[in-house]
Amino acid sequence: MVAAIRHDNSVGDALVRHSRRASTRRLIIDVTGGLSTAALAAAWTPPGWLLLASAALCFAAFGGWALADRVLETPSRVSNSTIAASLLILRTLAIPVGIAAFLILVFGGLEIAMGTFIH
């Protein structure tokens, strides 16, 4: 039934719900797989490498943000204030990295699509 779909949620709310449902193992795979794929694409530079790297960075940024958020949501899990500050910085920096990677992915895809129409 279509009425079961909530229309008052933002993309941020959906990402928070998804990150809380994901297992820690899945988030670690997102981070390691995303970072290694982005590094490999940047080193190898195949055609379309920027789109591949930006898609991979979307996964890595989401996983890093979600892992840091998961640890920081329970203050008793972090006893060292330096670690807590580092996780807060990671969580904060993952947001603009993920947004930038997403925008590069979207506009890079549009560039490829428009290039087929223009040429």
Better-scored residue on pLDDT, 28 or 116: 28
Of 14-18, 78-82, 115-119, least confident by mean pLDDT is 115-119
What letter represents residue 102's amino acid? F
The tokens for 46 are 């195949």
Q: What is the pLDDT of residues 1-23, one digit of tens each?
A: 455 556 668 888 888 899 999 99
Q: What are the angstrom distances between the C-alpha of 86 and each of 28, 61, 91, 93, 106?
A: 17, 15, 9, 10, 30
Q: pTM to 2 decimals?
A: 0.85
Q: What is the pLDDT of residue 113?
A: 85
